[in-house]
């Protein structure tokens, strides 16, 4: 019974996580969602900036803290390991809801194009960026990345499969394709506002700071293989000089 509950719990987390990502996809470009990034009552400028930056910081801190090995060592004493990743996803979905709900629109336009061809090119680049991020999850094992494989292994009563370190696919071109996607997405819209600028700058600042800690953990976990990887592969821009 416990194994079935774990698998159901993880499967629901997977569906909700994909749903929250789909909502964010529409939220950032004001398309197809009840509340977009520029929707809602407009408040005072600086309080709105501070609230928005704080919400992104809260969202980012959740991702950084719960990813640390020290946190996972403590957390898995409370949450069974087969559903640890799924529980992280439930927390992420809840924080996505709070981020969207508390987001303060700052809809002053910085640029806009009404040209249909240019808009189509921008939206195509936007969707391609999301596709790149989704494709990146298959490097780790898509279902493992979203916490399903762990519960499935428990359901089948077999040891959890480990994913060996390997620089393949997108990760042979850059070390952090998902982070690159988060930094690119806010700019890929035909209507760019101050609110989207706040999102873009806040996310970029978070990624650049958090990556330092993430890579320190990876070096501690993987060792010389990851050091060599840093020396050979750039962080974000394919073809750039590695920054290690």
The rounded Cα 213 to chain-centroid distance in angstroms is 16
Task: Identify the domain containing residue 170 by its residue range.
Answer: 2-232
Per-residue pLDDT at 108: 97
For 52, counting Cβ atoms within 10 Å of its Cβ (0-12 exposed, 13-18 middle, 19+ buried), the class is buried
Identify whether 51 is part of a domain.
Answer: yes
Rounded Cα–Cα distance for residues 6 and 63 (Å): 22
- Extract the tokens encoding 66: 């719960």
pLDDT of residue 132: 97
What are the tens digits of pLDDT across the range 155-192? 998 887 676 788 888 999 999 999 999 999 999 999 99
Give the torsion sign (CA, 41, 46, 51, 52): positive
pLDDT at position 244 over 70: no
* Phi, psi at 206, each rounded to 5°: -60, -50
Write down the pLDDT at residue 203.
97
Instruction: Work out the mean pLDDT of the chain and round it to a whole number.
Output: 94
Token pair 């209507």 in the structure block, residue = 191
Domain assignment of residue 180, yes or no: yes
Radius of gyration from C-alpha coordinates of the chain: 19
What does the alpha-carbon distance between residue 206 and residue 209 come to, in Å, rounded to a whole number? 5
> Hey, is 191 helix, strand or coil?
strand
Q: What are phi and psi of 192, to 5 degrees?
A: -110, 125
Q: Is residue 38 part of a domain?
A: yes
pLDDT digit string, tens, across residues 32-84? 999 999 999 999 999 999 999 999 999 999 988 988 878 888 999 999 999 99
Q: Which helix (H) or strand (E) holds 193?
A: strand 191-193
Prediction pTM value: 0.94
- Residue at 241 is within a domain: no
Neighbours of 166 (CB within 10 A): 12
User: How many domains does the chain divide into?
Assistant: 1
Would you say residue 167 lies in a domain?
yes
3-class secondary structure, 112? strand
Classify residue 244: in a domain, yes or no.
no
Has residue 10 been placed in a domain?
yes
The whole-number average pLDDT for the span 210-218 is 91
* Residue 237 per-residue DSSP state: S
Which helix or strand (DSSP H or E) is residue 101 part of? helix 84-102
């Amino acid at each position: 019974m416990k194994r079935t509950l774990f698998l159901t719990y993880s499967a629901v987390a997977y569906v909700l996580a994909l749903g929250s990502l789909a909502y964010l996809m529409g939220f950032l470009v004001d398309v197809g969602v009840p509340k977009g990034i520029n929707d809602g009552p407009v408040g005072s400028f600086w309080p709105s900036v501070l609230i928005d930056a704080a919400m992104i910081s809260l969202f980012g801190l959740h991702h950084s803290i719960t990813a640390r090995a020290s946190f996972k060592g403590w957390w898995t004493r409370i949450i069974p390991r087969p559903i640890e990743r799924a529980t992280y996803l439930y927390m992420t979905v809840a924080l996505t809801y709070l981020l969207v709900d508390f987001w303060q629109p700052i809809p002053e336009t910085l640029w806009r194009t009404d040209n249909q061809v240019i808009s189509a090119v921008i939206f195509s680049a936007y969707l391609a960026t999301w596709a790149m991020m989704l494709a990146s999850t298959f490097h780790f094992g898509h279902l493992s990345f979203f916490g399903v494989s762990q519960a499935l292994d428990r359901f089948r009563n077999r040891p959890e499969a480990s994913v060996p370190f390997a620089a393949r696919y997108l990760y042979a071109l850059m070390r952090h394709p998902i982070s690159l996607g988060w930094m690119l997405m806010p700019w890929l819209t035909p209507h760019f506002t101050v609110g989207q600028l706040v999102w873009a700058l806040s996310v970029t600042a978070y990624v650049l700071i958090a990556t330092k800690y993430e890579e320190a953990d990876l070096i501690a976990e993987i060792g010389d293989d990851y050091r060599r990887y840093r020396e050979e592969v750039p962080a974000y821009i394919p073809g750039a000089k590695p920054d290690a």
